[in-house]
């Protein structure tokens, strides 16, 4: 059995604090914490399950911070949150069935598309625009789909929620962020329940990282509320590009193999 030292747990907690700060603003904290868990020598399945607890802590913390600012719309957000939670649970149950290689090939392209959208969006601000689908249809289709992805894999899920709220529901960027935190927290909790039921979480590591993630997310949410789209948009674009690059640099990524073959 792997023995985790106090120094390792302290280092992982510090990494989780940074990840929680970034995740509260633009998502993508998992691509900071997961490699750290792997470097600590933790088994990949246990690392994913353990990471889900700290991720849930970060998103719940950010949601609480937005709620205290009066920015969480519980009545319209709860159906979306419920379906995202169900999707997250279903994804976690399916994590050993679906081919991860397919997700590793598709996700970088999706992240780059999100970055390009936010980069080229003409007047991306806190102003609302016309919705393309109803919140009810979003709850039935988009929320559980993104939640399912979160349970199976996870990187970039906050960015995917964000762009879907802006593009499909016509929300301003700050309002979209508040909805994103609620939906992401729900999908994390749904997946976390399944991983806990399976007994895959290394609890001491998860709790120390969760404490750091909670603190980082509180700070990140306050910065997001204070600076709005001026801060959110550039960080979101940068995080999407960095996540896509990190996934593409993975030697086992099938998309990387295909690009090298074509070149």
CA angle 181, 220, 243 (to 5 degrees): 75
For 146-184, the pLDDT digits (tens) are 999 888 877 678 878 988 998 899 998 888 989 999 999
Helix (H, G, I), strand (E, B) or coil at 154: coil
Quote the pLDDT of residue 144.
97
CA angle 141, 143, 147 (to 5 degrees): 120
For 14-34, the pLDDT digits (tens) are 989 988 887 777 666 777 787
Rg (CA), the chain: 17
Average pLDDT over residues 194-204: 89
- pTM summary value: 0.76
For 45-88, the pLDDT digits (tens) are 788 788 888 888 888 988 998 898 888 999 999 999 999 999 99
Where is pLDDT greater, at 126 or 92?
Answer: 92
Lowest mean pLDDT segment, chosen from 108-122, 128-142, 164-178, 220-234:
108-122
CA 62 to chain centre: 12
The dihedrals phi and psi of 142, each to the nearest 5 degrees, come to -70, -45
Which tokens hold the place of 173?
């960027």
Average pLDDT over residues 204-232: 83
- The torsion defined by the Cα of 105, 115, 85 and 17, in degrees rounded to 10, comes to 100
- CA-closest candidate to residue 52, choices 231, 165, 210, 197: 210
- CA-closest candidate to residue 115, choices 251, 235, 253: 235
- Integer Cα distance of 155 and 53 in angstroms: 15
Under DSSP, the state recorded for 202 is: -
Quote the pLDDT of residue 182.
95
């Amino acid at each position: 059995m792997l023995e985790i030292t106090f120094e390792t747990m302290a280092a992982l907690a510090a990494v989780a604090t940074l990840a929680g700060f970034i995740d509260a603003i633009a998502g993508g904290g998992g691509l900071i914490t997961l490699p750290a868990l792997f470097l600590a020598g933790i088994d990949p399945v246990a690392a994913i399950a353990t990471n889900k607890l700290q991720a849930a802590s970060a998103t719940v913390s950010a949601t609480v911070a937005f709620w205290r600012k009066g920015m969480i719309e519980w009545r319209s957000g709860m159906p979306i949150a419920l379906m995202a939670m169900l999707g997250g649970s279903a994804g976690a149950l399916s994590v050993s069935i679906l081919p991860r290689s397919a997700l590793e090939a598709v996700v970088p392209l999706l992240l780059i598309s999100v970055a390009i959208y936010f980069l080229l969006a003409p007047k991306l601000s806190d102003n609302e625009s016309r919705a393309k689908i109803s919140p009810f249809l979003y709850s039935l289709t988009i929320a559980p789909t993104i939640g399912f992805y979160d349970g199976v894999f996870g990187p970039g899920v906050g960015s995917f929620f964000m762009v879907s709220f802006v593009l499909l529901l016509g929300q301003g960027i700050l309002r979209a962020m508040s909805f994103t935190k609620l939906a992401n927290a729900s999908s994390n909790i749904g997946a976390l329940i399944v991983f806990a039921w399976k007994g895959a979480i290394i609890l001491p590591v998860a709790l120390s990282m969760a404490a750091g993630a909670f603190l980082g997310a509180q700070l990140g949410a306050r910065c997001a509320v204070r600076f709005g789209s001026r801060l959110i948009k550039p960080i979101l674009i940068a995080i999407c590009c960095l996540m896509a690059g990190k996934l593409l640099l993975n030697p086992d990524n099938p998309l990387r193999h295909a690009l090298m073959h074509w070149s």
